[in-house]
């Protein structure tokens, strides 16, 4: 293959499937404690199968790892059950994808055991009993994970959950074969349930907090090792993505999608490395955030300051600029437009205003910098695109 074709087909990825939303990694950084806690809650399922059932509630905002935590636990549980010769299964059902239908949710569980189970002919009220009959026939045990539980509550109310949490009460002396993991964003959704069902689900709660920037960096670092070629993603770019995702309420799902899209932009540009500018383009493709009217509303020197900053990002390829570098870049822009530069105190006001408008982001420097300084980043828009918008806004009337 000639060199031009090699460049054409070059990719920064070695296995981009490791960035897919459905991929369940073996290691879950910063969720090990919660994984162990699930193991403790369900230890009986391996030590004394059939003697008791369990209900666990996992709560947390989008991107806190609720789904992947439950799925990783399910895979681990099934593997250990096989090693012990226990017929135990984990079934994960997204209630939202089922339209909140109790019938479709339970049907998915039954299809795990009977792929040819008729899709019609039964009512939603009959399916819990049918599911237990199937488990009895196969001498099987089931951990049923109900993801996006709020969809089921909103559509069907308390009845389906009441039936599932109380199903063993009518089977005195029979093995207890069905356990539940319920997953939802806010525990407040449980207020729509009757007190009995709500009490049952609130006994074992695992709340997941938002990821911090260092935690997101660890998650991304794992995925980079799995998905990208060596050297394709620098520490600077990794930190930049982690900071961007932290500003989106610590959303790890957003961070991973941003990493993947940035890699695709790197491939499209023929780059052997994922650069901060690729991350900015990826961010815009997910959430277009900077509107032209916002740029037009800025004062002259705010525009000049921002122009200097984005040009320095373009020139250096950096993810972060120090306040000193930003001040120097602003001075160059002022000279170009024949404007007298403003003092540092005024520049600091511009920085706070631009940060409040969510155009730039600021943070204090850490290791690698002498003393403490303010670092500026441009997490949500490509520097090259913003430069063009600023030039238009400033007009062509240079002195």
- Compute the distance between CA of residue 177 and CA of residue 192 in angstroms, rounded to an integer: 27
pLDDT for res 36: 97
Looking up tokens 């961007």, which residue turns up? 244
CATH of domain 292-394: 1.10.10.10
Which residues does 397 contact at the CB level (< 8 Å), separation at least 6?
none
pLDDT for res 290: 61
Residue 288 above 60 pLDDT?
no
Rounded to the nearest integer, the mean pLDDT of the chain is: 89
Domains 31-207 and 292-394 share a fold: no
Tens-place pLDDT, residues 183-226: 998 888 888 888 888 888 888 999 999 999 999 999 999 999 99
Whether residue 368 contacts residue 272, with contact meaning beta carbons closer than 8 Å, is answered with no
**In the chain, domain spans:** 31-207, 212-286, 292-394
Q: Which CATH architecture has domain 31-207?
A: 3-Layer(aba) Sandwich (3.40)
Report the percentage of the chain scoring pLDDT > 90: 64
| Over residues 337-349, mean pLDDT | 92
pLDDT for res 55: 94
pLDDT for res 397: 39
Give me 12's structure tokens.
């920064």
> 212-286 sits in which CATH class?
mainly alpha
């Amino acid at each position: 293959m000639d060199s031009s074709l090699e460049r054409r087909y070059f990719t920064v990825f070695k296995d981009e499937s490791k960035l897919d939303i459905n991929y369940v990694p073996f290691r879950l950084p910063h969720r090990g404690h919660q994984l162990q806690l699930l193991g403790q809650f369900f230890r009986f399922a391996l030590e004394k199968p059939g003697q008791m059932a369990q209900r666990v509630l996992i709560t947390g905002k989008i991107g806190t790892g609720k789904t992947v935590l439950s799925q990783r636990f399910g895979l681990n549980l099934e593997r250990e059950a096989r090693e012990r010769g226990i017929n135990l299964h984990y079934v994960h059902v997204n209630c939202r994808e089922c339209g909140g239908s109790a019938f479709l949710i339970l049907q998915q569980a039954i299809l795990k055991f009977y792929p040819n189970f008729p899709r019609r002919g039964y009512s939603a009220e009959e399916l819990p009993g049918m599911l237990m009959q199937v488990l009895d026939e196969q001498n099987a045990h089931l951990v049923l994970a109900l993801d996006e539980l709020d969809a089921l509550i909103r559509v069907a109310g308390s009845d389906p959950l009441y039936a599932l949490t109380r199903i063993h009460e009518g089977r005195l002396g029979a093995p207890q074969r069905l356990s539940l993991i319920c997953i939802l964003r806010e525990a407040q959704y449980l207020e729509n349930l009757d007190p009995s069902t709500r009490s049952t689900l609130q006994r074992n709660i695992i709340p997941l907090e938002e990821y911090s920037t260092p935690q997101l960096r660890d998650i991304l670092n794992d995925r980079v090792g799995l998905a990208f070629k060596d050297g394709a993603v620098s520490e600077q770019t990794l930190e930049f993505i982690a900071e961007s995702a932290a500003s989106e309420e610590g959303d790890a799902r957003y961070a991973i999608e941003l990493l993947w899209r940035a890699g695709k932009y790197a491939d499209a540009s023929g780059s052997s490395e994922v650069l901060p500018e690729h991350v900015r383009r990826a961010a815009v493709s997910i959430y277009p955030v900077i509107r032209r009217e916002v740029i037009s509303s800025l004062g002259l020197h705010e525009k000049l300051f921002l122009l200097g900053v984005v040009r320095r990002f373009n020139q250096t390829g950096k993810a972060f600029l120090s306040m000193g570098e930003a001040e120097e870049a602003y001075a160059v822009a002022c000279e170009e437009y024949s404007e007298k530069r403003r003092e540092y105190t005024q520049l600091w006001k511009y920085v706070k205003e631009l940060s409040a408008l969510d155009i730039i982001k600021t943070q204090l420097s850490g290791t690698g910098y002498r003393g403490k300084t303010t670092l500026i980043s441009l997490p949500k828009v490509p520097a090259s695109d913003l430069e063009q918008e600023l030039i238009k806004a400033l007009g062509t009337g240079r002195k």
